[in-house]
């Protein structure tokens, strides 16, 4: 403004133009002659009388004419690109384009014989946005940021022909990533860019596929709040949908492509003996609403397809997810890469059709067993004896019996899991820290109780009020042992002596440890299992969050039935037996009411649970009206609250103290059995009909423990932290990425060496006696290998120790291609007004020239108003002949005109 509009020469020219009406006025005053005339004298006297008013009116007329020149100058200044004190300044615009490059943007389809995908469509939309904005009449600044890596911007420049070509070149180099990132992170990054400086106009273009999982529901509330804040701050927001089929203008929910994906590939153990088959479980998701049939799953080990003569067929994939099991044997020691692949789909994602896992194969798998009473434990009825018998029969496992001192050593990570049998306490804080670090880093521990265990130590040092490695507090002492008569009575009373709690799992295959013995008639064998003694868990002191600890097995409630009589009577009183509406169910309700009252005369609380269970699940006899179907009664909506109370009460009286608990601790797992592993407190290892399940449960326990560790559970983009003993390793770690191995003529090992990508050295950080490595470069699916460098006395360069981890795509989040509706994207009132939803074919037009005050209709209305006033005042001050005045003599007219 100061260089152009207020330049001294421009100011002089403007003043000259403004002075034109004044000069004309002065010249006109110099062109008359003074003639004395009687009639004119009369007029002069009259003029003198009205002189002040006339001067003011003439000055007003002069000012209006000058003001018109000023307004004309403002208009000329606008066309010359000048600005007038900011009133007519064209508004520059900053465009921030948030380009979604997550996995779901690789959604592909076939159109007119050509394969297209959402990310390529999105890149084309970004080019169109830039071209449209560049045609605007003011400066247009554009910054393009990627959702998965917003800093720094991938493009940052003022838009013109050259910069648009630069943008197109950079967009051509971009590809959709296998990552999942919440769009909230990208919107926040755009918010930071807008906050860096004050712009005249700010526009945010979100180019995405707007999947329902990210943009709707409670999880999207924070995202909507940030968008609302931007809208309130004056940011114009365009949500540009690149997904196919293209979004229409209506409010109906847009269509989406069907998609299949592999949710999970989980081996039953991460460390397997050489030659022993390992069962894998594959979870395949069908994200559509229709059943898919005849899907084929291919299995590869180190690049070579296994089961090639018979790939794993999946005859039916209903909506939801389906689990498939298969066995693979391994003969090559070391880390083996396993991958499974679905056949390509016509549309949808391809990257989620593949999943990786890694198995470490050893000639024998070491199992560390720490017995708190080794002398007794090695005897035929001892704890170590029975576990050693199980693992020796299974082959491929080497039981390593050690004392508690073994936990002091820094070499615990050589064991895939540890069994602590009747251990009274750990010797030192060092042993406790070693154990906690071992589990935190992926190891697993199984605790078995016994008479040597010190509950006070477990509560203070291991449980730590819910923060420690042990899953629950212990009572001060174990229960009293059963007499021979009590044991005999339990064998013949027909009640379950152990309840398996697999109700939270989808199927028996998902139920850890007890899955193989939890179904059918096998489960009934636990009616004959005697648990003589155990260490109770005081539930009132048990501080646990929901989902933190899983209760796999529970003992029956041996409390006196008298404690529950009042609540049972209250629930019986709530049964609507005498209501006419339920007359059909009256005979059945009365029968079960009598059964409950009869059971209240029993001894143990769990006996009451059976009659309440019968009340809830009695299906009656359709041919006998006296035996109605009570399941129909409980399914009535008005009985929902009462049914919930009855079910809760049934569980309360049925379940007593937990026998088997499990919790995750860091990346590892902890399982606690509250009785002995041997025969000291139970006849489970031998001497009972239920003993046939003992080796099955122990082997399943071992698989559950060694399947943990999180080695195969990482998603691309997530950080991996390794904590090791600072005194045992050098503070450096080298990482390698192993893409999918291909079975070539050169062989697997040659392919591995050729395909390994060196990720460089990762420095370690010392924290509290630990050496921590944080790896954040896992941005591609596959196997990652890490070399750790141990310190060995007398050996200056010992061979590195290698560990393997797997990163996979987040199929659960990215594979669901359902799209958010318009009502989800325009959820808030302010952002709804400031947001425009677009898609290919109906992009917003950005090439309009930026308006200023000089283009406002009010500005032109003001000019028109000034002209009208000026003309009216000019007419008022001018002289006009009237009637016969037009016939005056020429001299008189001349004199009048001169006056």
Round to whole Å and give the CA distance between 447 and 420: 5
- In sequence order, the 6+-apart residues with CB closer than 8 A to the CB of 196 are none
pLDDT of amino acid 86: 46
- Asked if residue 464 has pLDDT above 50, the reply is yes
- Asked whether the predicted pLDDT for residue 111 surpasses 70, the reply is yes
For residue 81, the model assigns a pLDDT of: 47
Q: Do residues 417 and 445 make contact, with C-beta atoms less than 8 angstroms apart? A: yes
pLDDT per residue over 651-693, tens digit each?
Answer: 889 899 999 999 999 889 999 999 999 999 999 999 899 999 9
Report the chain's mean pLDDT, rounded to a whole number: 85
DSSP code string of 819-880: B--HHHHT-SHHHHHHEEEE-TT-PPP--SPPP-GGGSHHHHHHHHHHHHHHHHHHHHHS--
Lowest mean pLDDT among 20-24, 91-95, 742-746: 742-746
Write the pLDDT tens digit of every residue in 750-782. 555 556 889 999 889 988 778 899 999 999 999
d(CA 821, CA 827): 10
pLDDT band at residue 558, thresholds of 50, 70 and 90? confident
Alpha-carbon torsion (847, 851, 857, 861), positive or negative: negative
User: Which CA distances in Å does 345 have to 244, 265, 296, 751?
Assistant: 16, 20, 11, 28
Distance between CA 43 and CA 49 in Å, rounded? 10
Find the range with the poorest average confidence among 360-364, 764-768, 817-821, 829-833.
829-833
Query: How far apart (Å, rounded) are the C-alpha atoms in residues 300 and 40?
Result: 119
- The pLDDT of residue 84 is 44
Q: What is the pLDDT of residue 88?
A: 46
Strands 260-267, 278-286: pairing kind: antiparallel
Q: Does residue 617 register a pLDDT over 60?
A: yes
Q: Within 10 A of 885 (CB to CB), how many other CB atoms are there?
A: 12
User: What's the CA gap between 232 and 828, in Å, rounded?
Assistant: 11
Report which of residues 481 and 796 the model is more confident about.
481
Q: Give 113-144 pLDDT, tens digit per residue.
A: 889 999 999 999 999 999 999 988 788 999 99
What pLDDT score does 13 carry? 72
Percentage of the chain modeled with pLDDT above 90:
51
**Residue 180 vs residues 283, 776, 798, 895: alpha-carbon distances, Å:** 19, 14, 39, 95
> pLDDT value at position 887?
52
Over residues 196-210, mean pLDDT: 85
List, for residues 290-304, the tens digit of each pLDDT value: 999 999 999 998 878
Q: What global pTM score does this model have?
A: 0.76
- pLDDT per residue as tens digits for the range 226-249: 999 998 888 999 999 999 998 877
What is the torsional sign of CA 856, 862, 864, 865? positive
- Distance between CA atoms of 726 and 789, rounded to whole angstroms? 11
- Say if residues 728 and 410 touch (Cβ distance below 8 Å): yes
Region 821-840 average pLDDT = 72
Look up residue 547 and give its two tokens.
């989902």
Contact (CB, 8 A) for 662 and 552:
yes
Pick the more confident residue, 849 or 383.
383
User: Is 670 within 8 Å of 418 (Cβ atoms)?
Assistant: no
Amino acid 769: pLDDT? 74
Q: Tally Cβ neighbours within 10 Å of residue 898.
A: 13
Question: Under 8 Å CB-to-CB from 884, ≥6 apart: which residues?
Answer: none
pLDDT of 710 above 80: no
């Amino acid at each position: 403004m100061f260089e152009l509009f207020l330049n001294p020469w421009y100011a002089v020219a403007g003043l000259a133009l403004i002075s034109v009406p004044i000069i004309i006025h002065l010249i006109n005053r110099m062109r008359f002659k003074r003639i004395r005339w009687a009639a004119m004298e009369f007029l002069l006297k009259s003029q003198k009388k009205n002189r002040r008013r006339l001067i003011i009116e003439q000055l007003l007329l002069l000012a209006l004419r000058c003001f018109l020149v000023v307004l004309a100058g403002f208009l000329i200044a606008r066309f010359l690109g000048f600005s007038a004190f900011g009133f007519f300044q064209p508004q520059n615009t900053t465009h921030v384009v948030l380009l979604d490059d997550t996995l779901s943007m690789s959604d592909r389809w076939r159109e007119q014989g050509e394969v297209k995908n959402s990310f390529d469509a999105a890149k084309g939309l970004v080019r169109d946005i830039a071209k449209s904005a560049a045609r605007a009449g003011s400066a247009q600044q554009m910054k393009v940021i990627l959702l998965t890596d917003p800093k720094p911007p991938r493009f940052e420049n003022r838009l013109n022909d050259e910069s648009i070509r630069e943008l197109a070149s950079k967009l051509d180099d971009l590809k959709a990533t296998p990552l999942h990132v919440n769009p909230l992170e990208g919107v926040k990054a755009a918010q930071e860019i807008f906050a860096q400086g004050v712009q005249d106009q700010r526009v945010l273009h979100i180019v995405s596929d707007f999947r329902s999982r990210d943009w709707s529901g409670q999880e999207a509330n924070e995202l909507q709040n940030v968008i609302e804040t931007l809208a309130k701050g004056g940011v114009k927001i365009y949500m540009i949908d690149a997904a196919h089929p293209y979004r229409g203008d209506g409010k109906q929910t847009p269509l989406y492509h069907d998609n299949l994906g592999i949710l999970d590939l989980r081996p039953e153990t991460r460390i397997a003996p050489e030659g022993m088959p390992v069962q894998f479980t594959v979870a395949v998701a069908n994200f559509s609403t229709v059943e898919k049939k005849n899907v084929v799953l291919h299995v590869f080990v180190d690049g070579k397809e296994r089961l090639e003569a018979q790939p794993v067929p999946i005859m039916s994939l209903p909506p939801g997810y389906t689990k498939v099991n298969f066995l693979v044997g391994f003969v090559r020691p070391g880390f083996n890469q396993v991958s499974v692949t679905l056949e390509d789909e016509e549309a949808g994602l391809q990257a989620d059709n593949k999943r990786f896992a890694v198995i470490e194969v050893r000639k024998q798998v070491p199992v560390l067993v720490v017995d708190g009473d080794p002398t007794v434990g090695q005897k035929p009825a001892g704890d170590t004896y029975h576990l050693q018998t199980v693992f020796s029969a299974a082959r491929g496992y080497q039981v390593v019996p050690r004392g508690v001192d073994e936990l002091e050593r820094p070499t615990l990570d050589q064991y895939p899991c540890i069994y602590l049998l009747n251990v009274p306490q750990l010797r030192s804080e060092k042993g406790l820290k070693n154990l906690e670090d071992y589990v935190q880093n992926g190891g697993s521990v199984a605790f078995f109780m016994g008479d040597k265990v010190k509950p006070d130590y477990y509560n203070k040092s291991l449980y730590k009020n819910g923060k420690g490695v042990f899953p629950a507090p212990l009572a001060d002492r174990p229960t009293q042992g059963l007499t021979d008569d009590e044991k005999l009575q339990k064998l013949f009373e027909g009640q379950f002596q152990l309840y398996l709690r697999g109700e939270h799992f989808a199927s028996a295959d998902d139920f850890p440890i007890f899955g193989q013995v939890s179904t059918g008639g096998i489960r009934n064998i636990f009616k004959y299992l005697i648990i003589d003694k155990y260490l109770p868990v005081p539930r009132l002191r048990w501080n646990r969050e929901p989902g933190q600890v899983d209760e796999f097995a529970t003992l029956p409630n041996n409390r006196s039935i008298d404690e529950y009589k009042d609540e049972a009577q209250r629930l019986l009183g709530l049964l609507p037996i005498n209501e006419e509406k339920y007359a059909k169910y009256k005979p059945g309700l009365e029968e079960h009411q009598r059964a409950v009252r009869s059971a209240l005369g029993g001894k143990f609380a769990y006996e009451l649970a059976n009659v309440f269970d019968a009340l809830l699940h009695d299906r009656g006899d359709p041919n006998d009206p006296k035996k109605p179907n009570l399941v129909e009664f409980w399914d009535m909506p008005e009985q929902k609250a009462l049914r919930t109370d009855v079910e809760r009460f049934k569980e309360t009286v049925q379940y007593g103290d937990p026998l088997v608990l499990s919790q995750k601790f860091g990346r590892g797992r902890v399982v606690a059995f509250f009785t002995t592993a041997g025969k000291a407190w139970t006849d489970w290892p031998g001497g009972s009909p239920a003993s046939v399940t003992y080796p099955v449960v122990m082997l399943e326990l071992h698989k559950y423990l060694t399947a943990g560790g999180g080695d195969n559970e990482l998603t691309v983009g997530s950080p991996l932290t390794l904590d090791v003993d600072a005194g045992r390793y050098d503070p450096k770690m080298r990482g390698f990425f192993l893409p999918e191995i291909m079975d070539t003529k050169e062989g697997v090992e040659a392919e591995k060496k050729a395909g390994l990508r060196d990720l460089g050295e990762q420095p370690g950080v010392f924290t509290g006696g630990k050496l921590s490595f944080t790896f954040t470069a896992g941005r591609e699916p596959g196997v990652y290998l890490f070399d750790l460098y141990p310190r060995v006395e007398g050996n200056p360069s010992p061979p590195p120790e290698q560990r393997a981890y797997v990163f996979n795509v987040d199929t659960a989040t990215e594979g669901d291609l359902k799209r958010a509706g318009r009502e989800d994207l325009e959820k808030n009132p302010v952002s709804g007004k400031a947001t425009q939803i677009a898609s290919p074919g109906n992009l917003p037009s950005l090439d309009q020239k930026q308006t200023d005050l000089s283009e406002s209709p009010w500005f032109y209305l003001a000019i028109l108003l000034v002209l009208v006033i000026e003309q009216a005042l000019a007419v008022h001050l001018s002289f006009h002949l009237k009637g016969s005045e037009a016939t005056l003599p020429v001299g008189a007219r001349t004199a009048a005109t001169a006056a």
